[in-house]
Amino acid sequence: MNKLRQKYKKLPLQLRAGIWFTFLQYFQQAIVILATPIFTRIMTTDQYGIINVYNTLQGLLNVILTLKLSSGIYQLQLFEYKDNREGLTSSLVILSSVFLLLSSVMFFTFRGFLIYLMKLPLSMIMIMMVDIWAQMVLSFWLTRNRFEYKYRICFIVVASNCIIKTFCSVAFVLWANDNQAFYKVLGNTIPETIVALIIFFVILHKGRQYICLAFWREAIRFNIVLVPSYLSAILLSSSDRLMINHYCSSTDVALYSIAYSCAHLVQLFFAAINWVFTPYAYECLDLKNYIPLKKTSDSLTVIMAALTALLISFAPEAIAIFAPASYSSAIYVIPPAACGIFLTFIYGFFTNAEYFYKKNVYITVATIIGAAVNILLNWLLIPRLGYLVASYTTIVGYLIMTIIHYYFYKKIVDKKIYNVKLWALIVSFLYLYGFVCLSLYDYVVIRYCIVLSMLIIAIIKRDLIISVLKDMKSSKNAERKEG
């Protein structure tokens, strides 16, 4: 144990910070996953659906009303204005707060129209404004501390806030007789706002620079261009919930959302693998070492497809864990949802090349087109076919994005790096398997036999799986030593 501690202390500050910030991200996601079965059992499906609509609208309004100034330009400005980071931060926090204050006045002025449009009560809309402000302040503070590798204070504050607001939300919902959605967001917002207020005044006290037109102009000019990309990414993953709420009901939103919560379990693995694979891919692209990159990407695609197939196989069991029997029909959303999420893993190989060669505009174009197609198909099909069709329209959106990214990748890289034909075959097989599973969910023995066969294959091929992960790990360690 002492040896491990000594090795840890010898690690570079950047690496230690990276480990803890990654752990913090997964810790937050774990709390959300663990809390989901609790909320689905203590809230009605209608009220749980309203929560998902609230979260989607909050994500959209956060971009529109704050321009997400704590992302993008802020990190660049922290680098450029090293001698005045305190003043920069306080100035941008004030600017974002002014945006939100003016927006709140406008929302209250046109509250009748907005209540009709958002299908939320005024009380929840006003809480949303406070919640967006609190998240904005925390985001500035967290970004600044990430930039300076202050991982200890970040972990303590963010992890504590995450646990406390989850407990408060559960307690408020249990205490409420009705209107559970309102009390859940209230329980979530109160502790977060208290923390944000303390941080807000600390930022102002340290910065003492409240208005700086130079900082403001630069931040607005830079981030306003990114707003379409931010919005498109949110709309692609969340617009279906808003449209289901509009054309169907909040109960259908709850069924759809719980299925996507289960499907996103596999995305945690995708994120973990991508965290290791991305620097490995950059190194291979830099050295033009394409053969190992091709081999590793093919092996990872097979492994991730197997994990996705495993989730599809256990859809009834996953829903049973996450929610009570009233959500059982949501199992039919998981196969298309999981297949759509798998496509995000596939096009991640192409976006790595786009990021490496600094062609970020291609990513924006693909995201906007994918979101537009998804919204159009939802508008046409959800009123006619119901909420289930939204999971299939999302697949179409992701598929179009994948094709566009592939086109841009071919435009950037003049050599054949990836085995795209193999990936197309794997995607086709996964979609076929998902379609078959839709008719096998009532046949437990058959499903378990299929899963057992997959596990046996994984055991037989375990050496290949281990070697692929070791190759990426060794490459990442080599890159760190060079850095």
Report how far residue 338's alpha carbon sits from residue 333's, in angstroms, rounded to the nearest whole number: 9
Reading the block at residue 125, the tokens are 């809309």
pLDDT of res. 320: 92
CB 93 within 8 A of CB 250: no
| Burial of residue 2 (number of CB atoms within 10 Å: 0-12, 13-18, 19+) | exposed
Residue 226 sits at φ, ψ, to 5 deg, of -85, -15
Mean pLDDT of 389-411: 93
* End residue of a domain, out of 225, 249, 266: 225
- Domain assignment present for 166: yes
Whether residues 235 and 209 share a domain: the answer is: no
- The CA distance from 388 to 394, in Å, is 11
Residue 105 pLDDT grade (very low, low, confident, very high; cuts 50, 70, 90): confident
Report whether 90 contacts 84 (CB < 8 A).
no
For 222, residues 6+ apart whose C-beta sits below 8 A from its C-beta are 72, 73, 76
**What domain range includes position 416?**
229-474
Q: Based on the fold, state whether residues 115 and 172 are members of the same structural domain.
A: yes
Q: Is residue 342 part of a domain?
A: yes
Q: Is residue 88 part of a domain?
A: yes
Q: How far is the C-alpha of 365 from the C-alpha of 103, rounded, in Å?
A: 28
- 247 is written with which tokens? 């054309």
405 contacts 350 by C-beta, under 8 angstroms: yes
**Taking 70 as the threshold, does the pLDDT of residue 476 lie above it?**
no
233 and 209 belong to one structural domain: no
Domain boundary among 200, 225, 250: 225
- pTM greater than the 0.85 cutoff: no
| Phi-psi sector, 388: left (phi>0), alpha (psi -120 to 50), beta | alpha
Once rounded to an integer, what is the mean pLDDT over residues 206-213?
A: 84
| Radius of gyration from C-alpha coordinates of the chain | 23
Asked if 258 and 214 sit in the same domain, the reply is no
Total domains present in the chain: 2
Residues 423 and 301 both lie in one domain? yes
| CA atoms 119, 121, 126, 131: torsion sign | negative
Confidence band of 464 (pLDDT split at 50, 70, 90): low
- Pick from 169-178, 381-390, 406-415, 427-436: least confident: 406-415
Same domain? For 214 and 311 the reply is no
Confidence of residue 462 (pLDDT cuts 50, 70, 90): low
Same-domain check for residues 285 and 139 = no
Identify the CA nearest to 240 among candidates 469, 464, 398, 437.
398
CB 29 within 8 A of CB 268: yes
In this prediction, residues 363-375 reach a mean pLDDT of 90
Tell me if 72 sits within 8 A of 223, measured CB to CB. yes
**DSSP 8-state class, residue 44:** -
Using CA atoms, how far apart are residues 142 and 153, in angstroms rounded to an integer? 10
pLDDT of amino acid 237: 78
Q: Which position has the higher pLDDT, 289 or 47?
A: 47
What crossing angle do the helices spanning 334-356 and 250-263 adopt, rounded to 10°?
Answer: 60
Signed CA dihedral, 456, 460, 464, 465: sign only? positive
* The residue to which tokens 């809230």 are assigned: 43
Q: Which two tokens mark 210?
A: 């409240």
Is the dihedral angle over the CA atoms 68, 73, 79, 83 positive or is it negative? negative
Same domain, 304 and 156: no
Q: In terms of domains, do 332 and 445 share one?
A: yes
Same domain for 240 and 109? no
Distance CA 360, CA 341 (A): 21
Structure tokens at 105: 């006045």
Q: What is the four-CA torsion angle of 440, 443, 444, 449, rounded to 10 degrees?
A: -70
- Domain boundary pick from 193, 225, 257: 225
Task: Summarize pLDDT for 15-68 with one digit per residue, the tens.
Answer: 778 778 878 888 888 898 889 999 999 999 999 999 999 999 999 999 888 888
| Cα separation values, 334 from 32, 164, 420, 444, Å | 19, 31, 25, 17
Number of H helices, E strands in the chain: 21, 0
Mean pLDDT taken over the chain: 86
Question: Using an 8 Å Cβ cutoff, are 161 and 192 in contact?
Answer: yes
What is the amino acid identity at position 355? Y
Do residues 192 and 334 both lie within one domain? Answer: no
